A and B are shown apart, each in its own frame.
Chain A
Amino acid sequence: MLRLVVLRLLESYFRHPWLYLLPTIGMIGLASYFVLNLDKEYQAEGVLYVQNESYLASLTNVRASDVSWYLTAAQITSNEINELLRTDSFVRAIINETDLEEKMTKGESAVNETIQETRDSVWVFSTGANQVSIGASHEDPKIAYQLINALIDVYMRWQVNGEQAENETANSFFVDVIDLYNSELAAAREDMVQYVETHPQPLRGDRPETEQMEIVRLQAAVDLAASRVASALDKEENTRLAMAQIESDTRQRYILIDAPQIPIQPEVSLKRIALQAGAFVGVGVFLTLAAICGAAILDRSFRFPIDAKNRLELPVLSTLPDTAPYYRWYQFRKRRAARAQEKEPPQPNLIESEIVPAGTAVGSTGA
């Protein structure tokens, strides 16, 4: 069955090859036209070096290690930026730092268009284990340059803010807790002082055992409250230190190796060329394939012996070739012989010229 399908598709194509290729050729022509008339844009590029872990982080353990064993640091970063670029808030933050901001005040549709335009203008991909290439293209060279800088800045800020937020939460928690613990410590000390004042040391001998036990209990409560305060203070200091270190750590982890420059000459993006041309050619090929398949499906006639075998379940005794070309050739020879005969004196035994092709007879009977 598969053989039959393949044969029918091939026959369908070869019956009118140029007709079927017409959509593809047409689309290639259109693709060439569009590619040649593509608006030239200015491209700016920069390279960011990404470290798995900064020296500061390794010393202070300020940041939990999120390094994957199967993705490089550059891949993680490029994936993260590409994911962020899908969010409107991230793109809006980029736009805020560029001259595109003016467009954002021109209504809902202009905002959406600007966001989409920005999203399409920027690309990020990893170029090695630690290098991330960031590019932007725009009709205005200044905006292309601004877009890259803004992207890097917004991403770094996002990184810092993301980790700062955790520390800020922890810090405010510990500040609240310290106040509570201090009041508990003060209360424990007050209890102790009051007890000692109400139960002074006897003039002779030791305190009674019950007093001694009570004093020990109160002292333990004071010690416990003091240790809790000390621990909370220690943690609060740690969070404050971490907050101070995070920005420095982020700056160390992401180093801009190739700073973007304001582009001087306009270029046509290869990505855009590939996308435009690919889309046109793809549509052309699809139309060609659809036409071939459609013609093969609509053709209900028999084309191959295997057709008759499969559909009728009857043996195919023979396949007789089309004799029309043979008879056309025969008629040509006959006419040529007749012309030659007109020029030369008649020859008595020219039997072949008298032969009537059977095809002519068949055509005349219509059977």
Chain B
Amino acid sequence: MQMKFWKRKTREPVSPPLILSKKNGVPVYNFPIEVVDNLRYTITRIERNASLPLRLAIVSALREEGVTYLTQALAATVAHDMPLSVCVVDLNWWWPSTTILVGQDNPGLAGVFTGEATLEEIIVPTGLPNLALAPAGQLPIERRPVIARSQVLVQIMEQLSKEFDHLILDVPAVRATTDSVPLASLSDACCLVIRQGVTTAEDVRLALDEIDHLSILGVILNQVRLKTPRAILKLIPTD
């Protein structure tokens, strides 16, 4: 028998990623367990101080900070962990999230405004029975400021609030368009997403100045990649 001089370290079992699938069971998204765990921590922190807001807006100062990804991951985590119905409301007509969860023929919220479809028709169910998606659709650029400040949108939000326990709003970047402030105002509270190493303090401060009338639960630092070795970070805590 050959003698083994070393024993390979067995890896600890890792929790599987959270998979978001279509209603027919075809998996579409998978969120790594590190992200899901951190979002669970976020939810716990929010609930420690107060309950999770009925309408929670995820906002950022600039584009490409990961708001859409974070919105979907947060909604999936809440729906997966809690017996609550959750709906992701995409209010970003500027850069709508064209995911494969939404069919090409779905006119989205834009279709509801034009009377092309009803609210019930545009809601997209997912593999998680208590999670749904309200896509943004294609809204003409000149109508966006009007719709963002319209009572129709307020009524739609109220209608959605009746149907779901929680609405998670995907709002465009505050510094990218002036319409994001009235859109974010549709929520009860908001979380500010900051992309680590990219968004500057000045941009974030300006964005916070614009939404200072809203209840800001806190900051989510996204896409964190620290280069300092862990051994050093253990000696100097980062929070």
Q: Which residues of A are at the interface with B, using a C-beta cutoff of 8 A? A: 3, 6-7, 10-11, 14-15, 299-306, 308-309, 311-312, 314-324, 326, 330, 351-352, 354-359, 361-362, 364-367
Contacts and interface: CB of A to CB of B under 8 A. Distances in A.
B113 interface: no
B221 A318 contact: yes
B217 A317 contact: yes
B179 interface: no
B208 A312 contact: yes
Contacts of A354: 26-27
Given A11-B227, A321-B224, A354-B26, A314 B218 contact: yes
Interface in B77-95: 92, 95
Given A317-B218, A318-B38, A326 B239 contact: no
Contacts of B68: 361-362, 365, 367
Contacts of A365: 68, 95-99
Given A301-B200, A365-B95, A314 B219 contact: yes
Given A358-B69, A359-B69, A302 B38 contact: no
Given A318-B41, A366-B63, A14 B238 contact: no
B12 to A, nearest CB: 17
A326 B35 CA distance: 11
Given A318-B38, A358-B29, A300 B200 contact: yes
Contacts of A300: 200-202
Contacts of A318: 38-39, 41-42, 45, 220-221
A23 to B, nearest CB: 19
A301 B62 CA distance: 12
Contacts of A359: 69
Contact of B225 (A3, A306, A321): A321
B37 to A, nearest CB: 9
B103 interface: no
A242 B226 CA distance: 80
B64 interface: yes
Contact of B35 (A14, A306, A323): A323
Contacts of B106: none
B230 to A, nearest CB: 11
A326 B30 CA distance: 11
Contact of B197 (A14, A303, A317, A356): A303
Interface in B1-29: 19-20, 26-29
Interface stretch (B117-125, B137-145, B151-159, B188-196): B188-196
Question: Secondary structure of the B side of the interface?
Answer: mixed
Interface in B157-211: 170, 172, 191-192, 194, 196-202, 204-205, 208
Nearest to A365: B97
A364 B96 CA distance: 10
B97 A302 contact: no
B129 interface: no
B221 A302 contact: yes
A351 B24 CA distance: 13
Contacts of A312: 201, 204-205, 208, 219
Contacts of B38: 318-321
A6 B236 contact: yes
A305 B97 contact: no
26 contacts: A7-B228, A7-B238, A11-B228, A302-B197, A304-B238, A305-B221, A305-B239, A312-B219, A315-B219, A316-B220, A317-B41, A317-B45, A318-B39, A318-B220, A320-B221, A321-B34, A323-B34, A324-B223, A358-B20, A359-B69, A361-B68, A362-B68, A365-B98, A366-B95, A367-B68, A367-B95
B45 A302 contact: no
A311 B208 CA distance: 12
Given A11-B228, A358-B30, A322 B97 contact: no
A274 B101 CA distance: 70
Contacts of B39: 318, 320
Contact of A320 (B64, B205, B224): B224
B200 to A, nearest CB: 4
Contacts of B100: 356, 361
A306 B239 contact: yes
B199 A301 contact: yes
Given A358-B73, A361-B29, 4 more contacts: A7-B236, A314-B192, A317-B218, A358-B30
A320 B225 contact: no
B216 interface: yes
A312 B204 CA distance: 8
Contacts of A316: 218-221, 239
B97 A361 contact: yes
A355 B201 contact: no
Given A316-B218, A362-B68, A365-B68, A322 B229 contact: no
Q: Max chain B CB contacts within 10 Å: which of A304, A308, A317, A357? A: A317
Nearest to A310: B201
A359 B42 CA distance: 20
Contact of A355 (B19, B194, B223): B19
A10 B35 CA distance: 25
A233 to B, nearest CB: 85
B92 A367 contact: yes
Given A3-B236, A11-B226, A351 B199 contact: no
